[in-house]
């Protein structure tokens, strides 16, 4: 149990997926201009990452590894993610239209979000068991949600500021991300008491 | 009617085409894997092996030791090799351990003499901050050279590299565990 | 006939210029940010990443273009990803076998080339509409543009953050490196200022016209 808390806290704060490990930077910078869309994207990522972790675990340990096909992991995982995203999209469209209209346009983007493939590969690398994998996937997604929400709030504020022309748009967002990243560095070296 | 049949056949062709693409790609990967897998496996073994050779320069061979570890030790110790001299006499042990540093795990190989003191410490991989924590892991740097000749009671007296306290502590932790295991190994006579 | 040849030559030239400079994937199109930020802590890593991605780009573009009439529109993205993932795995295995230290320092970012948006973007916007040869050339040009960008960023970060260039000490003994620059935060910072510089040059160019 303690073990799971440690995994969770390190994925969210100490090794924040976006600000420390740089997974998922494209959507982090691309869809963080408004906090409402940022939260929508973040939620969709949490959902997909949790499910991806749950599905890739048995795929690797019960199918690829026993057959000696570890070298197919990248291709197998990306196919799983692409299919999963497609299924989630169809499912939401049919049964929860409200959620679909909120998340819908972000779902296809998630296939190419490297945080999702990244978490699947890291679960295998770190040799996590099934529950640890799912917790890690969920927490890494929450870390992404936290980071993209924080950046989007900063960017909403900045839209009122008089920013030098060359810095408008992407560059100032990157500099804001740099400052966020510096503040997250404070969590590094955080020794959990268990 | 014919239109419907047309649609049916069209839909059937999608998965078939996808399967063709996937199998072509898998075939290509199987071929490349056949060409590179041996080299990759030997690369990995080579790295630990050359680290062991640097610790025990006189050793002619290393053999894997099967030793019963406690549950606690199993968390950090992964492999134990016995270093053998030219006459198949035992020179000492190389113990692969991980210590926890600032940014994550630090993998080390600790060489232990027959008298239970450290012969040498080699860093295999780490994720410490470059330029800060990594200073403590420099080969022949201030920290690692202090361990040479240290016995288990002396390890705690090693002084950490300033600015890299966590990384230094991670290495010390790894070395202590290795020395503890080696102490039992030597007592029980392997 | 000669005219047609001339126009083809111009077309190829345009592809090269666009890929490397005018539509530089990193600085102008702002694609592929994850590897750009993550691996640019040293020049050798930056070049290694750039060339690995270039290799994948050339081959995936070439084969996707070759198969563009075979791949049904409905499942094109899935097919592209499978093809790209195949070449990425090839790169991963070759790098692990023959360039071990590069494999260690790039780590997970080699398999993650699969989801580098530059590659999928080129497949979708260029390779699916053009001849195989032109597509391969486009892959090469875009890849070199990416490599160039990574080299510039990593040179700045390595020089300021570590005082070295390609591992050689060039700043002298008394230089104390600004460590922040090679930490994650420095990646965001350096890229932010570089893109601002590019935007400044572009705005100035437009203003003068």
CA distance A72 to chain B (A): 8
Q: How far is CA C63 from CA B70, B116, C75, C114, C134, in A?
A: 54, 60, 16, 15, 12
Most confident of A130-134, B65-69, C120-124: A130-134
CA distance C117 to chain A (A): 7
> Is residue A81 domain-resident?
yes
Q: Which residues pair with B107 in a beta bridge?
A: B98, B125
* Mean pLDDT (whole number) for A162-174: 89
C-interface mutation test, from A18, A22, A69, most C Cβ less than 10 A away: A22
Q: How many domains does chain A have?
A: 1
DSSP H helices, chain B, are: 2-55, 71-76, 142-147, 165-188
Q: pTM of the prediction?
A: 0.83
> Is residue A9 domain-resident?
no
What pLDDT, in 10s, does the model give residues A32-91? 888 888 888 888 889 899 999 999 999 999 999 898 888 888 899 998 998 888 888 888
Report residue C2's pLDDT band, with 50, 70 and 90 as the boundaries: low
Taking Cα atoms as reference points, which of C78, C56, C14 lies closest to residue C146? Answer: C56
Bridge pairing between strands B61-64 and B118-125 = unpaired
Residue C186, pLDDT > 80, answer yes
Q: How far is CA C128 from CA B6, C181, C192, in A?
A: 25, 39, 32
* Mean pLDDT (whole number) for C110-120: 87
> Is residue A18 domain-resident?
no
> Is residue A2 domain-resident?
no
Given this model, what pLDDT does residue B8 score? 47
* Mean pLDDT (whole number) for A17-45: 85
Cβ–Cβ below 8 Å for B37 and A72? no
Q: What's chain A's average pLDDT?
A: 86
* Mean pLDDT (whole number) for C33-50: 87
* Mean pLDDT (whole number) for C191-205: 90
What pLDDT, in 10s, does the model give residues B86-140? 777 888 888 888 888 776 778 888 888 888 888 888 888 877 776 677 777 877 7
Report whether B22 contacts C82 (CB < 8 A). Answer: yes
Handedness of CA C31, A137, C105, C196 (dihedral sign): positive
Residue pairs spanning A and B at CB distance below 8 A: 16
Q: Is C171 touching B (CB cutoff 8 A)?
A: no
Cβ–Cβ below 8 Å for B25 and A188? no
Q: Is A192 touching B (CB cutoff 8 A)?
A: no
Cβ–Cβ below 8 Å for C184 and A23? no
Q: Is A72 touching B (CB cutoff 8 A)?
A: yes
Subunits with at least 3 CB pairs below 8 A relative to chain C?
A: A, B
Burial label for B133, CB within 10 Å (0-12, 13-18, 19+), is: buried
Residue B4, pLDDT > 50, answer no
Indicate the range of A33-37, B156-160, C123-127 predicted with least confidence: B156-160
Q: Which residue of B has its CA nearest to C78?
A: B18
> Is residue A133 domain-resident?
yes
CA distance B129 to chain A (A): 10
Residues of chain B with pLDDT > 70, as a percent, come to 91
Query: In whole angstroms, what is the distance from residue A156 CA to residue A39 CA?
Result: 13
Given this model, what pLDDT does residue B81 score? 86
Q: Which residues pair with B81 in a beta bridge?
A: B64, B94
What pLDDT, in 10s, does the model give residues C168-181? 777 777 777 777 88
**Residues of chain A positioned with their CB less than 8 A from the CB of C185:** 178-179, 181-182, 185
Q: Residue A154 sits in which domain range?
A: 24-189
The shortest CB-CB distance from A71 to any of B29, B103, B129 is to B29
Report residue A100's pLDDT band, with 50, 70 and 90 as the boundaries: confident
Cβ–Cβ below 8 Å for A26 and C183? no
């Amino acid at each position: 149990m303690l073990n799971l808390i440690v995994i969770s806290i390190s994925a969210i704060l100490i090794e924040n997926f976006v600000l420390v490990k740089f997974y998922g930077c494209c959507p982090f910078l691309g869809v963080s201009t408004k906090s409402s869309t940022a939260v929508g994207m973040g939620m969709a990522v949490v959902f997909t990452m949790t499910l991806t972790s749950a599905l890739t675990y048995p795929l690797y340990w019960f199918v690829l590894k026993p057959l000696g096909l570890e070298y197919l992991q990248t291709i197998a995982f990306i196919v799983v993610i692409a299919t999963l995203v497609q299924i989630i999209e169809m499912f939401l469209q049919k049964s929860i239209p409200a959620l679909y209209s909120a998340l819908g346009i972000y779902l296809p983007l998630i296939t190419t979000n490297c945080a999702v493939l990244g978490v699947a590969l890291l679960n295998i690398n770190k040799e996590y068991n099934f529950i640890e994998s799912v917790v890690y996937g969920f927490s890494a997604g929450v870390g992404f949600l936290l980071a993209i929400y924080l950046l989007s709030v900063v960017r909403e504020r900045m839209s009122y500021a008089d920013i030098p022309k060359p810095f408008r748009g992407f560059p100032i967002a990157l500099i804001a991300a740099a400052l966020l990243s510096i503040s997250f560095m404070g969590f590094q070296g955080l020794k959990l008491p268990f | 009617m014919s239109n419907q049949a047309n649609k049916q056949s069209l839909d059937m062709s999608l998965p078939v085409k996808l399967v063709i693409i996937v199998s072509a790609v898998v075939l290509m990967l199987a071929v490349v894997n056949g060409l590179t897998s041996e080299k990759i496996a030997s690369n990995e073994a080579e790295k630990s092996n050359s680290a062991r050779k640097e610790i025990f320069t006189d050793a002619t061979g290393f053999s894997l030791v099967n030793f019963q570890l406690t549950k606690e030790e199993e968390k950090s110790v992964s492999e134990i090799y016995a270093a053998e001299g030219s006459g198949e006499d035992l020179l000492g042990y190389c113990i692969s351990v991980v210590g926890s540093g600032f940014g994550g795990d630090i993998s080390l190989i600790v060489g232990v003499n027959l008298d239970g003191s450290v012969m040498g410490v080699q860093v295999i991989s780490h994720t410490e901050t470059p330029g800060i924590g990594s200073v403590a892991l420099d080969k022949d740097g201030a920290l690692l050279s202090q361990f040479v000749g240290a016995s288990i009671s002396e390890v705690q007296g090693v002084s950490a590299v300033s600015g890299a306290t966590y990384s230094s502590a991670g290495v010390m932790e790894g070395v202590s565990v290795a020395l503890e295991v080696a102490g039992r190994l030597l007592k029980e006579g392997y | 006939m000669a005219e047609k040849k001339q126009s083809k030559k111009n077309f190829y030239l345009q592809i090269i210029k666009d890929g490397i400079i005018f539509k530089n994937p990193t600085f102008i199109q702002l694609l592929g940010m994850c590897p750009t930020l993550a691996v640019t802590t040293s020049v050798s890593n930056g070049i290694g990443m750039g060339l690995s991605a270039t290799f994948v780009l050339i081959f995936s573009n070439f084969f996707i273009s070759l198969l563009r009439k075979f791949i049904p529109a409905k499942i094109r993205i899935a097919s592209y990803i499978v093809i790209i993932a195949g070449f990425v795995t090839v790169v991963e295995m070759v790098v692990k076998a023959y360039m071990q230290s590069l494999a260690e320092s790039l780590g997970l970012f080699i398999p993650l080339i699969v989801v580098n948006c530059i590659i999928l973007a080129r497949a979708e916007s260029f390779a699916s509409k053009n001849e195989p040869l032109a597509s391969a050339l486009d892959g090469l040009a875009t890849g070199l543009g990416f490599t160039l960008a990574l080299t510039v960023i990593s040179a700045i970060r390595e020089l300021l953050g570590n005082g070295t260039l390609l591992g050689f000490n060039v700043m002298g003994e008394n230089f104390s490196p600004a460590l922040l620059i090679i930490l994650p935060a420095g990646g965001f910072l350096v890229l932010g200022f570089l893109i601002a510089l590019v935007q400044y040059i572009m705005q100035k160019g437009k203003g003068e016209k």
